[in-house]
Structure 1
Amino acid sequence: MRRFGQGLLLMLAGGAVLRISLLSELYLRYVKEGLRLPLVVSGAVLLLLGVCETVRAASHGDGPGADHGHDHSHLPRSAWLLLLPVLLLLLHAPPPLGAFTAARESAKAPASAPRTPDRQVKFAPLPAGDPVPMPLSEFTLRAQHDRRQSLRGRTVRMTGFVTPDRSGAGGWRLTRLVISCCAADSQSVTVRMRGAAAPPADTWVTVTGRWSAAGTLGTPSAANELRVESLAEVERPASPYTDTVARPPG
């Protein structure tokens, strides 16, 4: 019975990993895109080991109904706790992290932009035409470090999920969670939204608007805020942990 139980757990675990990585893109809720191949390989190895262990148990008469008249060691009860996460992945994969997580951690500083020899932050010119699709991290960098003030007078479009702002500063926050490896190391990138009522928390939206003129644009005093001109609810992206440019709704 012990070997049969081990084989069953291994097969279920392998099947669960393959279900989210090979048969769907659910793995993007937990790890970054580049880890798909290692997950597929790991799932296949676990499944193969489970099959081998089950066949081995059957060949030795150690099936679930076997009785040799003496005591068999069983799997530790704690080992069966692995069934819960495995069954969740097989039957109903948990959703990605959202507003609950983002509201309880400090916002992530945007990645550094290229710099000129005199150490000034360098930005590529914005494309012609409004609105300009823009990641949240780029908006923050341009608002606080672009001395050419490329955001002034421009309309930008960004996509993220709604996070309530409990700081007392008013408005609400548009958020993306970014990861280095997996959801456990996620950090939030946020921009405060003003001029529009907050949709329910965790709602994914695309917002269009202009930089909220507070502080001095192009300096650290610049407000990391957008004055919303339009807002549309959108579907959660397949890869929720990537701060990518917004796509037009619909």
Structure 2
Amino acid sequence: MSVETQSIVVTLLGGLLISITVSGRFTSYVRPGFKWLLLTSGAILVIVGIISLVLAVRAEMKAGRRKAEAPAAVGAGGTEDGAGPAPDHDRPDEHDAHDDEGPDAHGHDHSAAKAPWLILAPVLVLLLVAPPALGADAVARNAGSQGLAGYDVATVSGPTVSDGSAAGGGGTESKDGTGAPIGGYAYNDGSGSVTDSSGSRRTMHFPALDGTDPQMGIKEFVLRSLYDADNSVDGVPVTVVGFLAPAGEGYSGGYTIARMVISCCAADANPMQLHVDGDAPYPSNTWVQAVVTVVPNTAVMDNNYVPTVTVSSVQTIDQPDDPYEH
């Protein structure tokens, strides 16, 4: 690949980064917090590409002038005794020129290779046909247990499990050796109950809900329905935003309202799901805003702790600027 080709590709890649960032499409692939890193990276690539291209063109022009001047110098000059022209030490050897610019022994001209330009294919794809955010297909591929462990939560009285690594309510001493409970939650053993198999109450706590039909993310709604010791969403209509997908594992009918959750980028995305009985009101991947109420004791191990909800209202919406939760 020539220096000019490399410079053009680098410049276009930088322009692509700037384009998808300014347009907001970058949120389909990474967290919004990466915006300024992407803009900076794109600007650096554009600057480096342009400078490299200018230097390469100038070097090419200089080499061309030297080649044009060489024959004139040879024709007008010669040795003092008239024996012939003086040797031109600056003129490139014909063999070298053949190796650098001409075809090889098989007749292939490597200086004019077209393959490097194929690198532009993904650039053009992203510019012209940007892949959408992850949707219903990703839910089916990546679905797993929604029973989460390892959350730091408020200190509570009574036996706890500090890291959620085992079922039951075995007591855990605090790090200072006082024997006081250190917080944590009792692992959901699959019963869907507010207590585990040993009778220990779930101990994750959340802020109180305000207003009518309060809005929250699907991830928070799932965690509240599974682990909230205060039962804050039991019998309380809540507004959620997500896209429709087929029913998940453990369900023979109905449909799913889902949202993908990412930590860094789409590569580490995992779905958070709510199950709804009945027929889906819209096709899969349709974004909706729905008012839902959790059905108690429906999130169990056999369905990956996906709670069933009833839907009191649902309407279609445009995909949010940030399609993922975090």
Same topology, TM > 0.5: yes
Flag the structure with more relative contact order, 1 or 2, with Cα contacts below 8 A and sequence separation at least 6.
Answer: 1
Quick one: structure 1 residues 179 and 77, their matched pair in 2 at CA, closer, same or farther if it must change by over 3 Å? farther
Q: TM-score, normalised by structure 2?
A: 0.64
* Root-mean-square deviation (Å): 3.0
Aligned residue number for residue 247 of structure 1: none
Picking from 124, 141, 155, the partner of 2:223 is 141
What is the CA-CA distance between 1:79 and the residue it aligns to?
4.2
Unpaired segments ≥5 residues, structure 1: 63-67, 244-250
Aligned residue number for residue 248 of structure 1: none
Secondary structure of the corresponding residue to residue 175 of structure 1:
strand
Work out the CA distance in 1 between the residues paired with 2:297 and 2:19.
48
1:5 aligns with 2:5: yes
1:225 aligns with 2:264: no
Aligned residue number for residue 32 of structure 1: 31
Aligned residue number for residue 197 of structure 1: 280
Quick one: structure 1 residues 3 and 223, their matched pair in 2 at CA, closer, same or farther if it must change by over 3 Å? closer
Work out the CA distance in 1 between the residues paired with 2:3 and 2:259.
45
Q: Deviations over 1:54-102 (max 9, x none)?
A: 112211227xxxxx86444549866434212111222332211111111
Is the 8 Å Cα contact of residues 30 and 96 (structure 1) preserved in structure 2?
Answer: yes
Is the 8 Å Cα contact of residues 248 and 256 (structure 2) preserved in structure 1?
Answer: no
Secondary structure of the corresponding residue to residue 280 of structure 2:
coil
Aligned residue number for residue 45 of structure 2: 46
Q: Note the 1:147-186 alignment, pairs <5 A.
A: 147-167=229-249, 168-186=251-269
Picking from 78, 81, 87, the partner of 2:124 is 87
Work out the CA distance in 2 between the residues paired with 1:85 and 1:124.
45
Unpaired segments ≥5 residues, structure 2: 62-66, 68-96, 102-109, 158-182, 184-202
> Letter of the aligned partner of 2:204 in structure 1?
V
> Letter of the aligned partner of 2:40 in structure 1?
V
Is the 8 Å Cα contact of residues 145 and 305 (structure 2) preserved in structure 1?
Answer: no
> Letter of the aligned partner of 1:241 in structure 2?
Y
Is the 8 Å Cα contact of residues 107 and 190 (structure 1) preserved in structure 2?
Answer: no
Work out the CA distance in 2 between the residues paired with 1:46 and 1:61.
22
> Letter of the aligned partner of 1:200 in structure 2?
P
Higher strand share: 1
Work out the CA distance in 2 between the residues paired with 1:144 and 1:55.
61
Aligned residue number for residue 55 of structure 1: 54
Is the 8 Å Cα contact of residues 113 and 122 (structure 1) preserved in structure 2?
Answer: no
Aligned residue number for residue 126 of structure 1: 209
Quick one: structure 1 residues 90 and 74, their matched pair in 2 at CA, closer, same or farther if it must change by over 3 Å? farther
Secondary structure of the corresponding residue to residue 133 of structure 1:
coil
What is the CA-CA distance between 1:195 and the residue it aligns to?
4.6
What is the CA-CA distance between 1:196 and the residue it aligns to?
5.2
Aligned residue number for residue 16 of structure 1: 16
Quick one: structure 1 residues 172 and 202, their matched pair in 2 at CA, closer, same or farther if it must change by over 3 Å? same
Quick one: structure 1 residues 82 and 198, their matched pair in 2 at CA, closer, same or farther if it must change by over 3 Å? farther
Quick one: structure 1 residues 145 and 84, their matched pair in 2 at CA, closer, same or farther if it must change by over 3 Å? same
Quick one: structure 1 residues 215 and 6, their matched pair in 2 at CA, closer, same or farther if it must change by over 3 Å? closer
Q: TM-score, normalised by structure 1?
A: 0.82
Work out the CA distance in 1 between the residues paired with 2:112 and 2:276.
53
Q: Which region of structure 1 is more displaced relative to structure 2, 157-166 or 79-88?
A: 79-88
Quick one: structure 1 residues 192 and 76, their matched pair in 2 at CA, closer, same or farther if it must change by over 3 Å? farther
Work out the CA distance in 1 between the residues paired with 2:299 and 2:256.
21
Work out the CA distance in 1 between the residues paired with 2:17 and 2:267.
17
Is the 8 Å Cα contact of residues 225 and 231 (structure 2) preserved in structure 1?
Answer: yes
Is the 8 Å Cα contact of residues 10 and 47 (structure 1) preserved in structure 2?
Answer: yes
Picking from 74, 78, 96, the partner of 2:133 is 96
